[in-house]
Structure 1
Amino acid sequence: MGTLELFCAICRKWFHGRCLKDLTDFYGLPFMVCYVFNCADCSSSKKETWTPKQANFAHMCVTVLANLTHNARTKRADGGEDDMTDSNQQLIFFNLENEIIPYFNAQWENLTSMSRRVKNTWHQTLQKSLAKETELFVSSDDGQMFALREHDLSAIGPSHEALKQIGRSKPPAASSARESSKENFDKVDETGDGPKTRGSSKRRNVDTSSSLKKTKVTADYASTRIAGIAAPIDFPFNREGYRYYLVEKDLTVPNRDVFELEESTYNKPIPAHIYRVVVHPTVTLSPNDRAYQLKLSEDRLSVSGFEGYCVARATHPVSHGTWYFEVIFTAQPPDSHIRIGWSQALAPVQACVGYTQLSYAWRSLKGTAFHQAKGKHYATGGFAEGDVLGCLISLPPCPADRDYDFSSLESLPPSTSYLPQSYKNLPLINFKHNYFYEEKDELQDVLKSLKPAPGSWVSPFLRPS
């Protein structure tokens, strides 16, 4: 402990820095937390890969305080402390001005890729970060001394549970206090000895609700685990007009080292072309291409909803050939109904499938088929809880198919008409310490260019329970 070690995101094993063979330009500090490392056995290239991630002040403070704490414990051990086990369970506080900030100044380049700050206003930002993240740090009464809350320094790494919560919103204490005071008010009013008049309960509810401010509920992102990445990824939800794609470093880009050097330069645009879209290893429900009201299971193979019309799409699209999938309708509360079918990427998620010309649906109620909000009879009786539902789609072949008939063409269609998009021309954004391509939807242009695909068709199937 106390030496440079890296945590593999796939096999979840630790590797000493001195044991690395492929990382020649490697740098860092013990107990650093913002990176993605794959060992040679787990890496697709069979070589060790290390990708640093931009650390904020809270992440850097964890690394700094962990190193200071380890140094202090080592000094105590060298001084002949009798019981180091008890000593390791004690919090060790460090002065902000005399110990923490000097460590930042001495190790700035190893802590972050940002250029050094000229003004000292970052000292206040540092102090606020230490005081705010109470799950990670403990502060003294005067707010000038800070200690790392985690006693086990061997647990400090990218997969540390408290580190995953950095930046996530917490319920305000004022709101909790208002709720508890309202509960106490209701209890006193119900057990009071005063006269009970008609309508008093209704008036009480009106009076108390007017004095309570509603808490605004936001659902901007969803935290999801992705195969090959240890920590959960915060995916921004696709919203009306914008779509987001998680990216990773593209190791095939020529002269990538030069562009990575530019990327580390402070206050410059991130070069988007040195990244590529992360391809999910298996087909599941998309973590962010869905309505935020819907709840996904841990493996993202089940979805449940409880309010309104909304849609969830899969991680992988289809563009040619014949494809089929099945789902099991596991639960159906009274008076509820679902739709299943096929949807293009720009169909709204805050609407039912089949609402626009960009999706086709089959409804459980009466078995009605929908397209462009128009329903027509398809199957008598519909479907219900316990049924197995299938959806088939057949699209014209493309030049990438083995049995494609090239003799029927005068010229080949452009590859952009059937190969997946690279999105490398899109702007790159940093969302909660992960990079995403951001695409602005041009819905009207897509609707104007819609053309029927000759010989294509969709068909739902039912296997009753």
Structure 2
Amino acid sequence: MDEDSMTTQQRTDDMITEEGSSTESDAERLIKEAAQTLGAKQTNQCYCGTERILGKMEMQCVGCYRWFHEKCLSISIPRCVPFMMNYAFICKKCNANSCELFQKKTAGFSQVSITALANLLFKSREDGTNKNMFSRDKEIIPWIDSNWELLMTGPRRVTQTWHTTILKTLQKESSLFINQDDVYFGLVDPDLYGIMPSYDASSKLQLLRTQENQQTRRGPKRKLPDGQTVPGGKCKLKSDLVMPRLPAHGYPNEHPFNKDGYHYFLAEPDPHAPFKQEFDESVDWAGKPIPGWLYRKLEPEKVLLAMHDRAPQLKISDDRLSVTGDKGYSMVRATHGVTEGSWYFEAIIQDLPDNSAARIGYSMPLGNLQAPLGYDRFGYSWRSRKGTKFHQSLGKHFSAGFGKGDVVGFLIELPRSSDKVKLPTTYKERPLVKFKQYLYYEDADKATQAVKNLVELKGSRVSFFKNGKLEGVAFENLYEGTYYPAISLYKNATIKANFGPRFRFPPRGYKYRAISEAVQQNMVEQTMADMIYLVENEQQFKVEALNF
């Protein structure tokens, strides 16, 4: 690209200004900087009263200038990077509404360059190389490029003219950057504790005014498909497209259960969806349903027992690995399923009182939760009592039973059914329903139709193990589909699941993967399915074409 063709884009880049006020007097600026620096050096930071943690995302309050750890906040903020400067934040104590506010600002290239160098410097200190100077082309530019969406408020640049703008910034800002032959650059002040947002005298007022505008300009509350509305309250999040913070175990404490012919999937804002900001800010869309394509199915970060995909009477432990039964047979599935490959998990029999029983194995998503595993065509199980195996309510003798203290293992082998990779369902066309501040996709089961569509997967099989010993192949030629580890209990039996990666009795002589490894695979496949949907339906997402 020649010099003339670059001029327009570079001018656009140079026009991006940093947060600050030109009307602020020198005295006001010096007082502000002194207070901000003093606040940054206090040892009793955050609500928790502990010190700062460099290398982790922290926010400095525009009111008290103390720093707050992201993990200690009661709101969820967009994904960011450590040492970021382009934001405004106010803590609960400094806001008259007693709630936190966070707003990401347009980043100037000086801010972006400082953030990039600070992260490179921190990493260098952490790994022991202790470098102070970094290559523009090999380190600074690649770091900014890989973190663009986390740093910037706008879309990724199509051209690379911003590379030149970064160089000009590093060369020009001699009070901020050390320049070595226009190739290597570093920070004039390497004190990472001194990197903070560019607050000025009006920053707090602007942030609070943003909150006021969000609460008053929107008109009627936005309705959800089932007629519910966003609940009012003393303190609101800035955006409908911000997800409330989840509890420590990763799922809302109060939630809808999969039952009565419907499945519910916890949803989170999709960072790749178009027109998020336009939807959030437009008054014209107030009172209309939130379109499903703005969200995506949340993929848990660990394989655990599902909170929602279980019979409500079952009791799940705090770590979500143990389950205790209640009265008649009922079932719980794991959070992650598999469609192909060889996979393994263990179940530890922690308690099995007299007259209680357990059936453990694998279930497809439509397996009946208010019945024992193996009751229908969607599940395959092994019973503790008499070692009976079950599928479609047909019990057959398989082995001796198992009891308290035993460790039973379940190996499923699912060959690929075709040359094409089958991606999971994208739920972006499903309605979103709100339950206790969280949004969920609602999906009808259509179990009757699913039964008619079942086909055998040749070569598939399930094998059972007891305390490391292979009991044999229990089932072959399973129905094709997605299989989840599942546990069903009769009365007050207690079973603990071990999804890996370490097992008490790993199956010897078999090539397999622990079910815990399905997390990354599920995330990739679900993301691909969602991205393909967005690309294929791109024309429907034009602002002028939206009819909600």
Shorter-chain TM-score bucket reads: 0.5 to 0.7
2:457 corresponds to which letter in structure 1?
A
State the distance in 1 between where 2:103 and 2:298 align.
16
- Residues 304 and 267 of structure 1, relative CA distance in 2, 3 Å threshold: same
Amino acid at match of 1:21: M
Change (3 A) 1:383 1:15: closer
**Does 2:400 correspond to 1:375?**
no
1:350 aligns with 2:367: no
Listed one character per residue, the Cα deviations across residues 67-116 of structure 1 (whole Å, up to 9, x for unaligned) are xxxxxxxxxxxxxxxxxxxxxxxxxxxxxxxxxxxxxx997534477516
Q: How does 1:199-348 map onto structure 2 within 5 Å? A: 225-227=248-250, 232-262=252-282, 265-348=285-368
- In the TM superposition, residue 348 of structure 1 has moved relative to its aligned partner by 1.0
> Which of residues 454, 459, 476 is equivalent to 1:455?
459
For the 8 Å contact 1:357–1:371, the answer to whether it is kept is yes
Q: Residues 346 and 337 (structure 1 numbering): CA distance in 2 closer, same or farther, change over 3 Å?
A: same
Aligned partner of 1:115 in structure 2 is 219
Q: Which runs of 5+ in 1 are unaligned?
A: 51-104, 118-128, 131-135, 137-155, 159-222, 400-411
Which structure 2 residues correspond to residues 116-195 of structure 1 after superposition, within 5 A?
none
Residues in 2 aligned to 1:463 and 1:250: alpha-carbon distance in whole angstroms = 44
Aligned to 2:429: 425
Which deviates further from its counterpart, 108-117 or 5-14? 5-14
Distance 2:73 2:211 in 1: 27
**Moved >6 Å (runs of 4+):** 4-7, 13-16, 34-38
With CA pairs under 8 Å and 6+ residues apart, which has the higher RCO, 1 or 2? 2
Q: Answer whether contact 1:113 1:266 (CA < 8 A) is retained.
A: no
Secondary structure of the equivalent of 1:10? helix
Q: If the length of structure 2 is used for normalisation, what is the TM-score?
A: 0.46
Q: Secondary structure at the match of 1:259?
A: helix
Go from structure 1 to structure 2 and tell me whether the alpha carbon gap of 1:451 and 1:35 turns closer, same or farther (over 3 Å shift): farther
Q: CA RMSD in A?
A: 4.4
Question: What's 1:21 paired with?
Answer: 85
Q: Secondary structure of the residue that 1:450 maps to in structure 2?
A: coil
| One-letter amino acid of the counterpart of residue 360, structure 1 | Y
Instruction: Evaluate the alpha carbon distance shift between residue 367 and residue 106 of structure 1 in structure 2; reply closer, same or farther with a 3 A threshold.
Output: closer
Letter in 2 for 1:47: L
Equivalent position of 1:397 in the other structure: 416
Instruction: Verify the 8 A CA contact 1:355 1:372 in the aligned structure 2.
Output: yes
Structure 1 residues 344 and 9, CA gap change in structure 2 (3 angstroms) = farther
Structure 1 157/110 Cα, relative in aligned 2: closer, same or farther at 3 Å?
closer
Q: Which residue of 1 aligns with 2:150?
A: 47
SS of residue in 2 equivalent to 1:329: strand
Letter in 2 for 1:268: K
What is the CA distance between 1:3 and its match in structure 2? 3.6
- Report the Cα distance in structure 1 between the residues aligned to 2:309 and 2:76, rounded to whole angstroms: 36
Contact 1:311 1:353 in 2 (8 A): yes
Taking the aligned partners of 1:266 and 1:397, their CA distance within structure 2 comes to 46
Contact 1:23 1:49 in 2 (8 A): no
1:254: Cα distance to partner?
A: 2.9
Q: Deviations over 1:283-326 (max 9, x none)?
A: 00011000001111111011111221100000001111110100
CA contact (8 A) 2:415 2:459 kept: yes
Relative to structure 1, the CA distance from residue 341 to residue 376 in structure 2 (aligned partners, 3 Å threshold; closer, same or farther) is same
Aligned residue-pair number: 290
Paired residue secondary structure (2:277):
helix
| Letter of the 1:327 counterpart | A
User: Are the equivalent residues in 2 in contact too, given 1:294–1:305 (CA < 8 A)?
Assistant: yes
Q: What percentage of aligned pairs have identical amino acids?
A: 36
Asked whether the equivalents of residues 247 and 436 of structure 1 are also in contact (C-alpha less than 8 Å), the reply is yes
CA contact (8 A) 1:37 1:49 kept: no
Q: Which runs of 5+ in 2 are unaligned?
A: 1-60, 78-82, 105-114, 120-146, 154-208, 222-231, 238-245, 469-503, 505-548
Whether 2:438 is the aligned partner of 1:434: answer: yes
Q: TM-score, normalised by structure 1?
A: 0.53
- Quote how far apart the aligned CAs of 1:421 are: 2.0
TM-aligned CA deviation for residue 262 of structure 1:
4.8
Structure-2 change in CA distance of 1:438 and 1:225 (3 Å): farther
